[in-house]
Amino acid sequence: MSTRNQREAISVDAAMKRAGESAFQNAGRGRALGGVGLEQEYFVIRIDESGRPAGRVALGGEDGVYAALDRLAERQPELWQKTGEFPGPWSYLLPQGGSLTFEPGGQIEHSAAVHRTAQEALVDVCRMHGALVGAMRGLGAVLVSSGLDVWHDIADVPLQLAADRYVMMTKFFDRRGEWGRLMMRHTGSLQVNLDHGPEGVWQERWLLSNLVSPVVLATFANSPGDEGLSMRGLAWQRLDPTRTGFPELLVSGASDDPRVQWGKAALDADIMLIRRGRETWYAGRPGWTFRDWIEQGHAELGWPTQDDLDYHLTTLFLEVRPKGFLEMRSCESLPAPWRAAPVVLLTALIYDDRARRRALDLLYDCRARLPELWARAAVHGLHDDELARLAGPLWEIALDGAGRFSEDFFGAQPLWVARRFIETMTAQGRMPADVLLELADDERASLQWAAGFGWRGSEQPLPEPVP
C-alpha cells in the first residue's frame, strides 16, 4: 500500500532492481532441459439446432459455465477444489496440478501443471479439453479455440468478472480506446511456458523468445478481421503500448542484461491499477508511469511502496513475460488437433542448444525492427514476404532440433502434427486465419473447424488430436 512518508517509498534504483530480479529469479540455476507448461484459452459458444453460433455462454446462472463445471466436479469431488469468493472469479484447482480460471469475457483458461516433457503437457491439456467438451455439451455449447471470437460482436459480450480488478482495468483501457475491451472479452491464446535454464543459456533463451515472437504471431495467426489476420495481435499492440510489445532496451541493444531491460520497461509502463486494501481501487491514467509516481508522488496516494511495485508487475503484458520462467504469449488459440505444432516448435527452438544458436543467427539482425515486424505480422501474417522467408528456415531449424530429443519428450504424434502443420500451412504461405476466412460465409463450418471437427470437403483435414 502506498505511503504518505516519502522515506518509506521505494526508490527508482530499488524498483528497477526488484523488478528485474523477481522476473528472472530462477535464471542461471535451472536445468539445461527444463519443463513445459501450457496455458490454453477457450470460448464457450452455444449452438442452435442447425449447429450455428447462438451466443457466448455466461459464467453465472443455472445454465452457465460455473454450473456446468460444478456438475462435473460433483461427479469426482476428490479431484476438484473450487476456490475464490464472490464477486471475484472462481477457480478450480486440479488434481494433476494446474487450474481452471476465467477471463473477463467468460473464456476458460486451463493453466496446466509444469510437466517433464512436452508430450506429458499436451496429454494433460488434451484430457482436460475432453472433459470440458463433455461438460459444455450439456449446455448445448461447443468449446472453441481461436484467437478471436469472429462469430459475435464485442457489444454482445458483457464483462463477466465483476471483481474490482477487472472493472478498473476496463475503465483504464477505455481511456485509451476500444482495444482493451476487445482483448479482455474477445480473444484467446495458447501460451507456452519454458524454463530460463543455466547461466549463459538463460540470456540466449530470453533474447530468442522475443526475437521469434513476430514469426510466431504470423505463423499461427487465427483471428482475422477488417484490419488484419490477427485482430488479437492488433488488440495487444494498440490497447496500451507502454505495457505490451518488447522492452525498449532489448530492441535498441543498449543493454544486454535482461534484468535491466525488464526493470526499465516496468518503470516506464503506465500505472493501470492501484490497490489499497480489499475495498478501494483506483484506475490509472494514460501517461502516468510508475517512474512518475516514484519521482513525483501523488496528491492523494502519496508515494509507492514495494507492494505497489509488485502489484504493478502483474499488469504488464509484454510478448514474453519473465515470471521465474518464460511465458511466451504470441501464439493464438488453435483448434485442438493443431495444438501440438507451436508447442513442439517453440520448445525445440528454445531448449536445443544448436537450434537456439542457429535461430539467433537467423533473427539477430531483426532485433532493432521487432516492433515493426510484430505490427506487420498482425496485419499480414505470412502473406508478408519477409516474415514468410524467416518462417521457413526458422521452423526447419526447430524441427531439426526436435529430432535430437529423446523419443518420449515430444512423442511421435506431436512431432507428426508439427511437420504436417509446416507442410500444409507454413510452406504454402497459409495460416489458420486463412481457413476462417475461407469459411466466413458458413458459420456452422467455421465453428466446427475452430472446435476441432475439421470441415466438409477439405483437402487438408485436421489431424487427430493427441490422445
Model confidence, pTM: 0.95
Q: What percent of the chain has pLDDT over 70?
A: 95
Amino acid, res. 83? T
Q: Which residue matches cell numbers 499480414?
A: 380
- The answer to whether the CB of 237 falls within 8 A of the CB of 133 is no
Judge whether 287 lies within some domain.
no
Judge whether 302 lies within some domain.
no
Distances (CA, A) of 246 to 13, 212, 264, 313: 21, 12, 11, 15
- The answer to whether the CB of 343 falls within 8 A of the CB of 36 is yes
Judge whether 215 lies within some domain.
yes
Judge whether 299 lies within some domain.
no
Judge whether 15 lies within some domain.
no
Does residue 132 sit in helix, strand or coil?
helix
pLDDT at residue 52 above 80?
yes
pLDDT tens-digit readout, 372-413? 999 999 999 999 999 999 999 999 999 999 999 999 999 999
pLDDT at 81: 75
- Tell me, what CATH number does 332's domain have? 3.30.590.20
Amino acid, res. 392? G
pLDDT at 31: 83
Q: What percent of the chain has pLDDT over 90?
A: 84
Does residue 45 sit in helix, strand or coil?
strand
pLDDT tens-digit readout, 280-296? 788 999 999 999 999 99
Q: How far apart are CA 188 and CA 209, in angstroms?
A: 20
pLDDT tens-digit readout, 219-276? 999 999 999 999 999 999 999 999 999 999 999 999 999 999 999 999 999 999 998 7
pLDDT at 467: 38
Judge whether 311 lies within some domain.
no
pLDDT at residue 59 above 60?
yes
Q: How far apart are CA 381 and CA 222, in angstroms?
A: 10
pLDDT tens-digit readout, 329-367? 999 999 999 999 999 999 999 999 999 999 999 999 999
Judge whether 165 lies within some domain.
yes
Containing domain of residue 152, as a range? 36-256+321-450
pLDDT tens-digit readout, 121-154? 999 999 999 999 999 999 999 999 999 999 999 9
Judge whether 127 lies within some domain.
yes
pLDDT at residue 86 above 70?
no
Domain count, the chain: 1
